[in-house]
Each structure stands twice: as C-alpha cells, then as structure tokens.
Amino acid sequence: MHFQISTLSPMGDLVRRLGLSISAAVPLISAAVPLISAAVPLQRIGRPAFAFAVAVCLSACSVLPGTGPKSDAVHANATAGLRSNAALPYALVDISADTIGFLSQPNLITFQGQFPDKRPKPQQVVGVGDVLNISIFEAAPGGLFTPATAAGARPGNFVDLPAQAVDQKGAIHVPYAGEVPAAARTLPEIQQAIVARLRNRAIEPQVVVSLNQQHSSVVSVLGDVNTPGVLALNSVGERMLALIARAGGPKFEAIETYVTLQRDGRRVKVLLSRVVHDPRENIFIRPNDVIFLTRESPTFTALGALNQNVFGFNSEIPFDVETLTLAQAIGKAGGLNDQQSDPAEVYVYRYEDRPLLEKMGVDTKRFPYDRIPTVYHLNLRDPAGMLLAAGFQIKTKDVMYVANAKVVDYYKLLTLISNTANTTSATANAVTNVNAAVKTRW
C-alpha cells in the first residue's frame, strides 16, 4: 500500500502543522497502515481518512507528556562517551540441599572474631600527658623533706609535692631524685623508682603515687550517641557497652545502629543489637580505641513480580530484626504476585566473599577480585523450596528479584494490540463523524 501526499493538499497541510516533513511522513504512514488495518477495515473509513488518523497518531508521540528526554536523544546528542558491551562476570549458585548448609549461617563479622584477645587490659600504665600526685614519707623528723622543727606540725612526717605531668620524654621531676622515667610504667613501679633515688638521702623514704588526671588511657566515643567525647578508662578495664553508656547511650534503636571499633589500624563494624544480645561481643576496650556509632538500618531491595511492587510500595525494605531469612523477606515484600510471578525463578543478588564460594565448590579462578558478583537461584515450585527459603540468610543490601512468568510477555503483547485497535477504531469513528458533519453542512 502506497500513499502520495501533496504539499497543497489538506493532508500535506496537516503533516506540516504536526511538525513532520512530507518525506518523513510518507514512509511512516505507509509502514503503520498494514499494522492497524488488520484491526479496523479500511472500507469503513476510507484510505484518506485512515492516513489522516495514522498521521495524527504518529505525530502525537512528540507532544505526549514525559519526565525527560528519550534515550535516542540522549545517545544522539552526546559529545563524547564510553560505550561498552562487556558483560559483568558473575557466579550462579542454586540454593539446594548441597549449598544451604553454607548459606543458612548469618556469616556476620564479629568483634570476638576480629579481636580475639577478650581479656581485660593489663594493669594500667602511665603515659605522656598524665598528671600524677606524689607524696613522700620519712620515718623520722629531721630528714630531707621533714625538718625537725616541723615534726610536731606534720603528723606522719610526709610532704605532698606539686602535681607532676609526664613530659614528652616520658619522665617526671622529683626534688633530690631528679628525672624519673614514668611513661609505660605502672604506679607501683614509679613509686619504687623514686624510693631508689631517695634511699641514700632521706630517712627510710616511702612514696605514694596516684593518678591526678588521665590523658593517655582514653577512648573516643563518637557518632550517634547523646554526649560524644573523649573518656578516660578506669584502672579495672571497661567493656564497650559501659563506655557507650558513659557517652549518654545511643540516639537510635539498637537494631538500626552500627558500632565501628577502630583499633591498631583495623576497623570492624557490628550491629549494636548483636553486641547487646551476645555478651561475647561486649569486649574490653583498650586505650586509644575509637568507638563510632552510626544509624544505618539494614535493608534489602525487593524487585520483580511481588505484591508490594504491584501495589506501588517502596522496594527498599528494612530488616526490623537482627537476622532475616529469604522466606521472611518474601513475606515482607507482600509475597509473590499470583498473576505475574514465576515461582521457579527467585533470585538473590549480592557480592560474595571468595572463600565462601570456594567452600561451596565454585571455581573462582576466573574472577579477579575477592568480592565476587553472585546470583543465588531458588525454585519455589520444588516442595522443599520453602524450607530452603526459611534457611537462606539475607544480608544487608541484598537484591531479591522474582522474574515474570513467560506467559506475561504474551499478555502484554495482546494488551498492546487490543489498546492500539481500540484507539484506532475511536479515531476512525471521529474522522467518520467529521466527514458526515461536513457533508451535512455543505
């Protein structure tokens, strides 16, 4: 079927008004006519009126509402770019009886696993910047620090020295004893060092050293706590939750708060609710540790043929619990959509650690990185599928996807054809009515 459109004809004037050139309109109309004529007989409206309707439909595409430029326009107007057809390599693992044993464990990073020394810190030592109180006792008046005239007024024959700060060299200065090393020593060791320096000068000297101000054995508690700051550790050792409590406690619920512990150049991040519920995670804190609390609720993303997505809900879903299984995740997403989903095609996307995949028997030699893109597949048509889903542990930032059943694509095509036929029929009726009105008037 072929159409000729004159620039002086009403059809040509319409094409110009719709923003199409004559040369562009002719092939578009000619290509569209066979597709739509199957739905609406041409004898009913006539070829010129039919071509008129087609031209209107084709040109309307450029004036329809939209949220931005079309993909063709984005690609065509780029000045420079980098395009690639390279596929991202990934591992595909079936969730089955062979693999569920590896996937049923939460596989969470823990403080006790990363910092195996869970004992209280050793006896507290003095550090640079600490301020010490020093009292020196002598056995009788008339000694180096207790003159005879002062014996009656100084019961016990002792003297309190001004508070001594440990200098940058790690030493304090005691009269008649000189420079005494103090850094990295315990208080009894400092006392013994001063006594040794004064033994030949004072009368049976005894020394008592106590901590006035502590600046070296401190811990920083920062982030989402009510009173963040630098806290001094006590001499008996303190656990993590005790220090968080001293910082005013967390601002948010434990289930949506992560604790990051920085120690000796290492950083470990654990959910606060795990520290609260598992006493083994409430480890002893060391001097110069940094505890940082951040609000970060664990979530997963649910996509595909799920009831929650069909009803227009948000696809990012919080755990609301410490550990979440795939069965629970499907329930949180509203379950599989009965009109759309394929139960045999349930997937979970994540970046998995290489050692775990190797334990399951996956050949990881072709993957250059230790964090390997992995797709887990579950068949819920299998009677054991729900049991496997109840054991599979979801991790934060996982993407759960349920594929459409193959028949859905045919439904979509039939719906498109039906809608196109209805639209064309309505347009044809409108043109017929216009022609009838024109004939009646003239």
pLDDT tens by residue, 83-95: 888 888 999 999 9
- In terms of average pLDDT, the best of 15-24, 31-40, 199-208 is 199-208
- From edge to edge, which strands make up the β-sheet containing 266-271? 229-232, 218-223, 290-295, 257-263, 266-271
- Asked if 305 and 404 touch (Cβ cutoff 8 Å), the reply is yes
Asked if the model's pLDDT at residue 35 lies above 80, the reply is no
Asked if the model's pLDDT at residue 408 lies above 70, the reply is yes
CA atoms of 395 and 136, how far apart (whole Å): 61
Tell me the mean pLDDT in the region 212-233.
90
Residue 422: name the closest of 29, 107, 39 by CA.
Answer: 39
What pLDDT, on a 0 to 100 scale, did the predictor assign at position 12?
55
The pLDDT confidence band at residue 18, using thresholds 50, 70 and 90, is: very low
pLDDT one-digit tens code per residue, 121-152? 667 788 888 899 999 998 887 778 877 665 44
Asked if the model's pLDDT at residue 400 lies above 70, the reply is yes
By DSSP bridging, strand 257-263 and strand 266-271 are antiparallel
190: its two tokens: 């400092």
- Which residues, in sequence order, are bridge partners of residue 402? 304, 346
The string of DSSP codes covering 112-161 is HHH----SPPPSP---TT-EEEEEEE-SSSSSSSS-GGGTTTSTTSEEEE
Tell me the mean pLDDT in the region 98-117.
82
Q: Cβ atoms within 10 A of the Cβ of 103, count?
A: 20
How far does the chain reach from its first CA to its final CA, in angstroms? 31
Residue 172: name the closest of 126, 235, 122 by CA.
Answer: 126
CA atoms of 305 and 412, how far apart (whole Å): 14
What pLDDT, on a 0 to 100 scale, did the predictor assign at position 89?
92
Tell me the mean pLDDT in the region 224-232.
94
346: its two tokens: 């349930």
Asked if the model's pLDDT at residue 22 lies above 60, the reply is no
What pLDDT, on a 0 to 100 scale, did the predictor assign at position 259?
95
- Asked if 388 and 100 touch (Cβ cutoff 8 Å), the reply is yes
Residue with tokens 């480890």: 283
Percent of the chain with pLDDT over 90: 41
pLDDT one-digit tens code per residue, 344-381? 999 999 999 999 999 999 999 999 989 999 999 999 99
Tell me the mean pLDDT in the region 240-261.
94
Asked if the model's pLDDT at residue 293 lies above 90, the reply is yes
Helices (H) and strands (E) in the chain, counts: 15, 18
What pLDDT, on a 0 to 100 scale, did the predictor assign at position 151?
47
What pLDDT, on a 0 to 100 scale, did the predictor assign at position 140?
80
- Asked if 161 and 202 touch (Cβ cutoff 8 Å), the reply is no
* Helices 47-60 and 10-17: angle between axes, nearest 10 degrees: 10
- Asked if 345 and 402 touch (Cβ cutoff 8 Å), the reply is yes
Percent of the chain with pLDDT over 70: 78
CA atoms of 213 and 245, how far apart (whole Å): 21
What pLDDT, on a 0 to 100 scale, did the predictor assign at position 23?
57
> What's the CA angle centered on 249, arms 246 and 253, to 5 degrees?
165
Choose between 154 and 195: higher pLDDT. Answer: 195
What pLDDT, on a 0 to 100 scale, did the predictor assign at position 119?
65
Asked if the model's pLDDT at residue 96 lies above 90, the reply is yes
The pLDDT confidence band at residue 163, using thresholds 50, 70 and 90, is: very high
Choose between 360 and 411: higher pLDDT. Answer: 360
- Which residues, in sequence order, are bridge partners of residue 378? 346
* Helices 10-17 and 22-37: angle between axes, nearest 10 degrees: 100
pLDDT one-digit tens code per residue, 253-279? 998 899 999 998 899 999 999 899 988
Mean pLDDT in the chain? 82
- Asked if 193 and 181 touch (Cβ cutoff 8 Å), the reply is yes
Burial of 413 (0-12, 13-18, 19+ CB in 10 A): exposed
What pLDDT, on a 0 to 100 scale, did the predictor assign at position 56?
54
CA atoms of 24 and 22, how far apart (whole Å): 5
- Asked if 138 and 158 touch (Cβ cutoff 8 Å), the reply is yes
- In terms of average pLDDT, the best of 54-63, 213-222, 323-332 is 323-332
- Asked if 272 and 250 touch (Cβ cutoff 8 Å), the reply is yes
Residue 201: name the closest of 149, 150, 134, 138 by CA.
Answer: 138
- From edge to edge, which strands make up the β-sheet containing 341-353? 91-94, 371-378, 341-353, 399-404, 299-304, 316-318
Asked if the model's pLDDT at residue 1 lies above 60, the reply is no
What pLDDT, on a 0 to 100 scale, did the predictor assign at position 19?
52
- Which residues, in sequence order, are bridge partners of residue 209? 134
The pLDDT confidence band at residue 153, using thresholds 50, 70 and 90, is: very low
